[in-house]
Amino acid sequence: MAEPVVVEPGSQWSVDFDKNKCRMIRLFGPESDRNVLILEQYTPGATFSMTVGGSAVGSITADRASTIRFWPDAAPAKHEPLVGPLEGYGRSLFFLSVGLIAPDKAKPDPKAPAPSAPMLDASLAAHVRFVEIGDADGQVRLMTGPLDRPVRVMNECLLDLIGSWGLDPEQHRTATRNARLLNEQAAMQKLYSYLPWSRIGKNNEMAVMRIRLITSADGKVESCALVENTDPKLEAATCKGLKQARLEPALDAAGEPMRSHLAITMYFGPVVTVMQSIPG
């Protein structure tokens, strides 16, 4: 197989934070042929979404053979992306949930504080050398270098974000367990029965629904919001379908139940619907 196509940085990392999400953005390649890498989270967690756009990945196949790698000695991890246009960059790849998994030679520093349950691991991110996107025919490497500084910025942004929801950021920094649905399959089946399908994915286009639940210490849904939504009827139906969901509450540093949050992301397209329950 041919050597990976290497693309050097064309900018420093920049931040794009708003009331709903935290993003880190970096450009790659010469000014005449820019590529972009976007790391994004809507809620604290051990995974992030990743968008790669530009000519460098224009020929990468978007199927089950697509892979991502962060270290030279790591085995590529399979990730099937969504494909769509990104303004200014053309055909782009959208990876829904990407995590950093340590290869044998990139274990986290044992002297570093243990990462809390809902946060990205900055000590592990320090071992990253590149973001490699590949398929059966070849690979493209965006030479990011270590990602510990961007990850720390992302984590702090997310703590500020959950504080704006009325939750305790410091309590979440040291949380030992995330909130989660007790019976995810049953909860999703009930949600589907409430969804007004005619209002989702109009014109057979891809649609994304991001649901944020605030969860109580006794495992109930305190509040529900459909993030970045402009359809109040869709939000009302969605939240009605989740109102009685049964939850296992998050636990604080002492192992006691605490108020927290849970994110559910749903992707709708012409062929497939994908649901992710992202604990927080």
CA-CA-CA-CA torsion for 108, 110, 111, 113, nearest 10 degrees? 60
pLDDT recorded at residue 271 = 42
The mean pLDDT value of the chain amounts to 87
- Residue 173 in domain: no
pLDDT at 72 over 60: yes
Could you give the percent of the chain with pLDDT greater than 90?
A: 57
- Residue 227 in domain: yes
pLDDT recorded at residue 13 = 97
pLDDT recorded at residue 96 = 86
One domain for residues 31 and 163: yes
- Residue 69 in domain: yes
Domains of the chain: total: 2
pLDDT recorded at residue 168 = 96
- Residue 272 in domain: yes
One domain for residues 195 and 267: yes
pLDDT recorded at residue 37 = 98
One domain for residues 150 and 93: yes
pLDDT in tens, 34-63: 999 999 999 988 899 999 999 999 888 877
pLDDT band, very low/low/confident/very high, at 108 (cuts 50, 70, 90)? low
Q: Which domain holds residue 190?
A: 180-279
pLDDT at 279 over 50: no
pLDDT band, very low/low/confident/very high, at 277 (cuts 50, 70, 90)? very low
- Residue 260 in domain: yes
CA 26 to chain centre: 17
Span 208-219, average pLDDT = 93
More confident residue, 93 or 104: 93
pLDDT at 110 over 70: no
One domain for residues 232 and 162: no
- Residue 18 in domain: yes
One domain for residues 144 and 210: no
One domain for residues 205 and 121: no
pLDDT in tens, 140-195: 999 999 999 999 999 999 999 999 999 999 999 899 888 999 988 888 889 989 88
- Long-range CB contacts for residues 216-219, cutoff 8 Å, separation at least 24: 216/249, 216/259, 217/249, 217/256, 217/257, 217/258, 217/259, 218/249, 218/257, 219/182, 219/246, 219/247, 219/248, 219/249, 219/257
